[in-house]
């Protein structure tokens, strides 16, 4: 099954469990304005595991070894991600 499959009824999209989303977030302060009509036409995202429709922002932390780090020190990198509130499934990177 591919990463993105449609629910049997219009306006719903099932997202399969997958990798951590990165690079899909706008920088802080960037805002896009949408009308109510436009928002109604957007596709709702539904968790593939539990059918939940509420997600929260979270961060996944990765450790970079001193060998790979540009300054020769061990570092942590925070990766933004989105998690289902109901079952804690991480939303895949690509919709």
On whether the CB atoms of residues 62 and 79 are closer than 8 A, the answer is: yes
- Number of Cβ atoms within 10 Å of the Cβ of 15: 22
25 part of a folded domain:
yes
90 part of a folded domain:
no
Check residue 38 and give its pLDDT: 85
pLDDT band for 28, please (50, 70, 90 cuts): low
95 part of a folded domain:
no
Residue 66 pLDDT > 50: yes
92 part of a folded domain:
no
Q: Which residue would you say has higher pLDDT here, 5 or 48?
A: 48
Structural tokens at position 93: 């990177």
Work out the average pLDDT over 73-82: 91
Q: Residue for token digits 């020190």? A: 73
Q: How far apart are CA 69 and CA 61, in angstroms?
A: 15
94 part of a folded domain:
no
Work out the average pLDDT over 62-90: 91
29 part of a folded domain:
yes
77 part of a folded domain:
yes
How many structural domains does the chain have? Answer: 1
């Amino acid at each position: 099954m591919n990463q993105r499959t449609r629910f049997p009824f219009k306006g719903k999209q099932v997202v399969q469990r997958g990798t951590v989303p990165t690079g899909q977030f706008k920088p802080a302060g960037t805002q896009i304005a949408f009308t109510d009509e436009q928002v109604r036409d957007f596709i709702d995202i539904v968790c593939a595991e539990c059918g939940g429709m509420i997600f929260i922002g979270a961060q996944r932390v990765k450790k970079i070894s001193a060998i790979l780090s540009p300054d020769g020190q061990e570092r942590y990198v925070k990766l933004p991600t989105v998690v289902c509130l109901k079952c804690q499934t991480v939303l895949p990177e690509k919709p």
